[in-house]
Amino acid sequence: MSSAARPPLASLGHLAARRSDTPEAPEGTPKIDVESMSFYYGDKRALHDISVRIRPNVVTAFIGPSGCGKSTFLRSLNRMNDIIQGTRVEGRIRIDNVDIYKPGLDVVQLRRRVGMVFQKSNPFPKSIFENIAYGLRINGMAGSSSELAGRVEESLKQAALWDEVKDRLHESALAMSGGQQQRLCIARALAVRPDILLMDEPASALDPIATQRIEELIYDLKKTYTIVIVTHNMQQAARVSDHTAFFWLGRLVEFDRTEKIFTAPAEKLTEDYVTGRFG
């Protein structure tokens, strides 16, 4: 829209220094505590001074236009950005009070605890069973073959996939539907018993029915896991999340209860975004 002029960056100044901890309950410590975090791709600063506290056993959604930094932020929570050359993090990210960027931290162990599901489902070209068993084996969590089978079943049940695949566990995962493949990837992430599940657009390639199943699954999983989801679909953020963070141009503009963000946001920028006044 022509009236959707973007405010000058200077007008965002008030956002930088504020600690966005509105949705936090007075009791309990945050699961993920991010303090003054900035992120750089080479010289380019992609995230500016982000502070946010993510509570355990809730679903937190990150929304914002493409390029706003929400995926970069998500990937910094299990150091997936480390694999990109020339990236750098400032500030602090603590999970269960441990600085995940401290020297000597075991990144493999971190990624086991902080699982990730991507936009495009990416099952291995192996059987359904092997897709789950693989992660358990390389993490030394396989145990006996009956133990392994038990863990595979448990993961598939948690991902609401067991009933659909229990009779064809040894068939290729690539023969499954898109929605099933995505739930298999969720099962694979859950198999190594993480605490936190990061989901980057987990349903954007799925039809509405498969999307609904994923959303129902997210709702069930939050009882056990802390879930952070990036989504372009605002209705999806509204449906599945408890808290929502709105990112814009690498800044965290507003973080609050989802109901508040979508009915009465405090910041004009958030209001303009959720009402589609700029795109």
Partner 1 sequence: MDRQVSHFREELEALQGRLLEMGGLAEERVRTAVEALVARDPALMNAVLAGDEPINQLHIEVDNRCFRLLALHQPMATDLRAVVAVVKINTDLERVGDLAVNIVEAAQRYVQHPPVKQLIDIPRMGEIAQAMLRDALDAFVKRDTALAHLVLGEDDRLDKLKTEVFRELLAYMLRDQSTVEPALDLILISRHLERIGDHATNIAEDVIFMVSALDVRHPSAGTGTG
- Which chain residues interact with partner 1 by CB under 8 A? 1, 4, 234-235, 238, 256-257, 259-260, 262-265, 270-271, 274-277, 279
Least CB distance to partner 1 at residue 255 (A): 13
Cβ closest to partner 1, residue 113 vs residue 232: 232
Least CB distance to partner 1 at residue 266 (A): 9
Cβ closest to partner 1, residue 4 vs residue 174: 4
Least CB distance to partner 1 at residue 25 (A): 15
**3-class secondary-structure state, position 4:** coil
**3-class secondary-structure state, position 40:** strand
Least CB distance to partner 1 at residue 139 (A): 41
Cβ closest to partner 1, residue 104 vs residue 279: 279
CB 231 within 8 A of CB 63: yes
Give exposure, 249-278, as e/b (b: 16+ Cβ within 10 Å): bbbbbbbbebebbbeebebebbebbbeeee
Least CB distance to partner 1 at residue 277 (A): 7
Cβ closest to partner 1, residue 1 vs residue 25: 1
CB 183 within 8 A of CB 214: yes
DSSP state of 278: -
What is the residue-wise DSSP string for 117-182? E-SS----SSBHHHHHHHHHHHTT---SHHHHHHHHHHHHHHTT-HHHHTT-TTSBGGGS-HHHHH
Cβ closest to partner 1, residue 98 vs residue 264: 264
